[in-house]
Amino acid sequence: MKEKILEILDTNCDYTLEEIALMVDATCDEVAKAIDEMKNSKIILRNKSIINWDKTEKEFVSALIEVKVSPQRGEGFDKIAERIYKFPEVKSLYLIAGAFDLTLIIEGKTMHEVASFVASRLAPLEFVISTSTHFVLKKYKYEGIIFDDDEKDTREVISL
């Protein structure tokens, strides 16, 4: 039941307890208890709205930064990641396999602000070997949500 609740909440966290209970064939109390247990055990971390910021007045820049690091003896990547994810600009941080070790998603008010963060705060860290910054120009899809899904009906109207 818990896995099904997680799938439902991952799709849309706006469902009521009653709606979730119907979907998983359980009582509201059972669903509420399961959700509380998952929050307490940090399986559910938080509910979040997905916002298309391009349709608002807020302006900011997102960038994906690939970072090659030298792991510290006895500490590996975890301590390095902890140091990096504490920067408020860092929205996401992933350990990856491939040419780079870490991938960061960061946000700033301008491209200059992002570049300044990389040059003055990230790159000088003693364990950072190299960085590669990629600016996000447009979001098409995020968390399974398509942003500009303005499919137009191209069928011809036939009248008799």
Q: Residue 26: its pLDDT value, please?
A: 95
The 10s digit of each residue's pLDDT in 14-25 is 899 999 999 999
What does the pLDDT read at residue 155? 65
Global pTM value: 0.75
Beta strands 61-69 and 102-108 are: antiparallel
* Residue appearing with tokens 């979907």: 23
Residue (of 72, 10, 5) closest to 36 by Cα position: 5
Structure tokens at 91: 């929205």
Q: What is the pLDDT, as a whole number, of residue 88?
A: 94
Per-residue pLDDT of 78-101, as tens digits, reads 999 999 999 999 999 999 999 999
Determine the pLDDT at residue 16. 93
DSSP letter for 157, please.
Answer: P
pLDDT at 149: 63
Find out whether 150 and 92 touch, Cβ atoms under 8 Å. no
What would the pLDDT profile of 110-153 be if each residue is shown by its tens digit? Answer: 999 999 999 999 999 999 999 999 999 998 988 888 887 665 65
Cβ proximity of 17 and 30 under 8 Å: no
- pLDDT given for residue 54 in this prediction: 80
pLDDT at 83: 94
Encode pLDDT of 45-78 as tens digits: 988 888 778 888 888 999 999 999 998 788 789 9
The amino acid sitting at 142 is Y
pLDDT on residue 22? 94
